[in-house]
């Protein structure tokens, strides 16, 4: 698969390899960079592994109908949500009510953060997996052999709100963005809960979403001179229930659908939503978390902001008992119960590898 390391390139193909890379931005901005170092080189995809789906085949959910549609429109959307979760694990949300202005401000705010001097960003490095603010490069450099073409800022924004203190206006914008997106996520989870036949407030109550964990992840993928050899993020599924993502007009997200990688493309006015491992566990596998990855390009720097919405840290997530009994007889629970906090620690302290973490549950 695409994440296997290729054999190292001859050392003369890279002009000025820093001894320790603390951000890919600094590396990407090295003067005269025309090739990438062996430390960041992966085996390219075989031809035919990526497919473009016909325009319009990725499910689109009109959020306004879920919130203020007629009962008929609402039940139609609940049905569509269920299908999207089951068939794709991915959908685009339109008419979500988060102002466009706020979407562009939060992207600009994150750009401002990544544009800070290296030393300033290192102040927010964090020491432990569960530290509320963590700036870093790749995914987990302490366990990786080959690194991803990515810098990240991960900030815990709920139940307690954190934000880096620089740039000065980031915190205010991030608070507002986090609250607005969280509201949409909860609305979607209500619909999803209903689509499972569990009633609209089931997930909210069972996983204590009032205290739910919300994690803000800003990703920076700088322009790359050899994009076919680099990887922004490897194939993985997200922890949590739902991730809502936006990006700065440059695409790169791919999702796996029926065994092929599908380019999601750029959808500047939509929220891009993927299902997470904890929705898979809760639904006993009816709604599988979707594998996805991030590609890089040579045309421009990409910024994406992925907002992960999970249960409260102390929730123990296991298949909903209501889903294990049916008229056809009992269905075995396919996952053991696990505290969300323990799952998070497990996932974040290892390599990011497909669904390895979920397999352990």
Binding site for ligand OGA (CB under 6 A): 217, 219, 233, 238, 252-253, 292, 294, 304, 306
Q: How far is the CB of 253 from ligand OGA (least distance, A)?
A: 4
- Dist. CA 72–CA 85, nearest whole Å: 20
Kindly give the pairing relationship between strand 60-62 and strand 90-94: parallel
Q: Which is nearer to ligand OGA, 310 or 319 (CB)?
A: 310
Q: Which is nearer to ligand OGA, 81 or 294 (CB)?
A: 294
Q: How far is the CB of 8 from Ni ion (least distance, A)?
A: 28
304 binds, among Ni ion, ligand OGA, none (CB under 5 to 8 A by kind): ligand OGA
219 binds, among Ni ion, ligand OGA, none (CB under 5 to 8 A by kind): ligand OGA
Q: How far is the CB of 247 from ligand OGA (least distance, A)?
A: 7
Q: How far is the CB of 7 from ligand OGA (least distance, A)?
A: 27
- ∠ CA 61-62-64, rounded to 5°: 145
Q: Which is nearer to ligand OGA, 323 or 356 (CB)?
A: 356
Q: Which is nearer to Ni ion, 35 or 266 (CB)?
A: 266
Could you tell me where the DSSP H helices lie in 155-256?
Answer: 170-195, 202-206
Phi, psi of 189 (to 5 degrees): -65, -30
- Would you tell me how many other CB atoms lie within 10 Å of the CB of residue 337? 12
Q: Which residues contact 46 (CB under 8 A, 6 or more apart)?
A: none
The answer for 56, left when phi > 0, alpha when psi is -120 to 50, beta otherwise, is left
Q: Which residues face 214 on adjacent strands?
A: 158, 309
- Would you tell me how many other CB atoms lie within 10 Å of the CB of residue 120? 15
Q: How far is the CB of 274 from ligand OGA (least distance, A)?
A: 8
- Which contiguous run of DSSP H or E holds residue 208? none
253 binds, among ligand OGA, Ni ion, none (CB under 5 to 8 A by kind): ligand OGA
Q: Which is nearer to Ni ion, 198 or 215 (CB)?
A: 215
For the chain, the C-alpha Rg in angstroms (whole number) is: 20
264 binds, among Ni ion, ligand OGA, none (CB under 5 to 8 A by kind): none
317 binds, among Ni ion, ligand OGA, none (CB under 5 to 8 A by kind): none
Q: Which is nearer to Ni ion, 200 or 354 (CB)?
A: 354
Q: How far is the CB of 204 from Ni ion (least distance, A)?
A: 23
Q: Answer for the pair 94, 270: CB distance below 8 angstroms, yes or no.
A: yes
109 binds, among ligand OGA, Ni ion, none (CB under 5 to 8 A by kind): none
**To which residue do tokens 């562009």 refer?**
104
């Amino acid at each position: 698969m695409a994440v296997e390391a290729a054999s190292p390139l001859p050392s003369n193909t890279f002009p000025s390899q820093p001894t320790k890379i603390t951000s890919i931005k600094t590396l990407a901005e090295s003067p005269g960079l025309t090739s990438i170092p062996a430390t960041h080189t992966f085996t390219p995809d075989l031809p035919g592994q990526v497919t473009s789906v016909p325009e319009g085949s990725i499910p689109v959910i009109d959020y306004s109908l879920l919130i203020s549609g007629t009962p008929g429109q609402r039940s139609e959307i609940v049905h569509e949500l269920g299908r999207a979760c089951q068939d794709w694990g991915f959908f685009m949300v339109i008419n979500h009510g988060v102002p466009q202005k706020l979407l562009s401000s939060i992207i600009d705010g994150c750009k401002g953060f990544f544009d800070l001097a290296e030393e300033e960003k290192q102040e927010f490095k964090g020491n432990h997996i569960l530290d509320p603010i963590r700036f870093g490069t790749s995914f987990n450099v302490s366990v990786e052999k080959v690194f991803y073409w990515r810098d990240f800022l991960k900030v815990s924004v709920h139940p307690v709100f954190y934000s880096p203190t620089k740039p000065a206006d980031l915190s205010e914008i991030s608070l507002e963005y986090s609250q607005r997106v969280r509201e949409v996520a909860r609305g979607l989870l209500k619909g999803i809960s209903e689509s499972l036949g569990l009633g609209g407030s089931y997930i909210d109550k069972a996983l204590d979403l009032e205290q739910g964990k919300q994690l803000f992840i800003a990703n920076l993928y700088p322009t790359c001179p050899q994009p076919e050899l680099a990887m922004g993020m490897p194939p993985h599924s997200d922890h949590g229930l739902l991730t809502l993502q936006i990006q700065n007009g440059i695409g790169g997200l791919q999702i796996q659908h029926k065994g092929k990688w599908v380019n999601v493309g750029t959808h500047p006015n939509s929220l891009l939503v993927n299902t997470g491992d904890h929705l898979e566990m809760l639904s006993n596998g009816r709604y599988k978390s979707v594998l996805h990855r991030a590609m890089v390009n040579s045309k421009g720097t990409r910024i994406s902001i992925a907002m992960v919405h999970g249960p409260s840290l102390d929730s123990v997530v296991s298949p909903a008992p209501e889903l294990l009994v049916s008229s056809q007889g009992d269905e075995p629970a396919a996952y053991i119960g696990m505290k969300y906090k323990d799952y998070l620690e497990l996932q974040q302290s290892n390599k990011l590898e497909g669904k390895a973490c979920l397999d352990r549950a």
